Amino acid sequence: MAVTRQAIPVRISCWPGNTADSALIRQVRDDMRDRALGKIIWVADRGFSSAGNRRYLQRGAGGYIIGEKLRSESPHVKAALSRQGRYQQVAGNLQVKEVRISDTDRFVICHNPDAAVRDAAIRDKLVAQLEETIAGSDQLSATKRAELRGKISMMPGLNRFLRLTPGGLLRVDKAKVKAEANLDGKYLLRCSDPQLTAEDIATGYKQLLEVERGWRDMKSVLDLRPVYHRLEERIRAHVLLCWLALLLIRIAENTTGQTWPAMRRELDRIHLGTFTGPAGTFRQRTELTKPARDLLAKLAIDPPRQVHQLAPGT
């Protein structure tokens, strides 16, 4: 899904469910090349950060913002995290710091204090769970300890902080816990555009959240799935109709400053009642609330007329 800075969806693509994700980004890149959408910045998560994908996205003066894996062994990641410098406060509580470690790409470290608190709480819980799991393991036989070690290896959250001593004992890796604490609330971005500011890079990457919100809205609010179609062209038509509905939702949200669920709850209070008496039958809408009138005014929609039908009695 392609979106503008204002989260307006301008393009959507769909493929068969068994299509590999690694090939999609290149197909989308070729498709967007022929569309007059102005400057395009590709925003992708860590799964698309290969050198081949980055080179492909730069074709035709394109640019990208890609998340990097902080726990990787990449020399760029290690160099970025080791650089000193002061963070700059940007939108909300987000802090950014650009580090110069490459002549081609720019690297921006983002730090969210609220996310750091959550990361620390999650890590403390995992460490406490690991300590409880290995408590008393020193008295087990070597075979039983190996079985426990294998069991923990199937739990990525716990296994990350497990250390095996030369004697085969299970311990909490204090050095690993300390290293993880240095990553609390942080994520690293790689950008190829030399003109974007560090704030633009950080807020641009957050557009992924808008794309994910768009998919959530299409799947839940708009009921994109399940799809009761068999022919491919009907499936694509169904997806396109849901995308058009999402486009209307985003325009309405940007115009009113409210979320679509809040608007829908207010507008759903408008009903049409049928009243029958000796003189005949008429249909009349309910009285509009002030929030509903304000919404219709912001959207430049005329309120529905009060009386819809009059039928004299016989």
Q: In the chain, which ranges are E strands?
A: 2-3, 9-11, 41-44, 63-68, 88-89, 95-99, 106-111, 162-164, 170-172, 186-191, 272-277, 280-285, 307-312
- Look at residue 37 and tell me whether its pLDDT is greater than 60: no
pTM of the prediction?
A: 0.64
Mean pLDDT of the chain: 82
pLDDT tens digits for range 240-286: 888 888 888 889 988 998 888 889 889 999 998 998 888 888 889 99
pLDDT tens digits for range 92-123: 778 888 888 877 788 888 888 888 999 999 99
- Highest-scoring range by mean pLDDT, 20-29, 43-52, 139-148, 186-195: 139-148
Cα-Cα end-to-end distance for the chain: 58
What does the alpha-carbon distance between residue 108 and residue 215 come to, in Å, rounded to a whole number? Answer: 27
Domain segments of the chain: what residues? 2-81+96-104+189-254, 114-181, 272-312
Residues in the chain, overall count: 314
Mean pLDDT score, 285-305: 91
Mean pLDDT score, 231-245: 83
pLDDT tens digits for range 161-219: 999 999 889 999 999 999 888 889 888 888 888 888 888 888 888 777 767 777 777 77
Confidence of residue 135 (pLDDT cuts 50, 70, 90): very high
Half-sphere exposure of residue 314, counting CA atoms within 13 Å on the CB side?
Answer: 0
Angle at 202 between CA 190 and CA 42, to 5 degrees: 55
pLDDT tens digits for range 140-153: 998 999 999 999 99
What percentage of the chain has pLDDT greater than the value 90? 21
| Res 60: pLDDT | 59
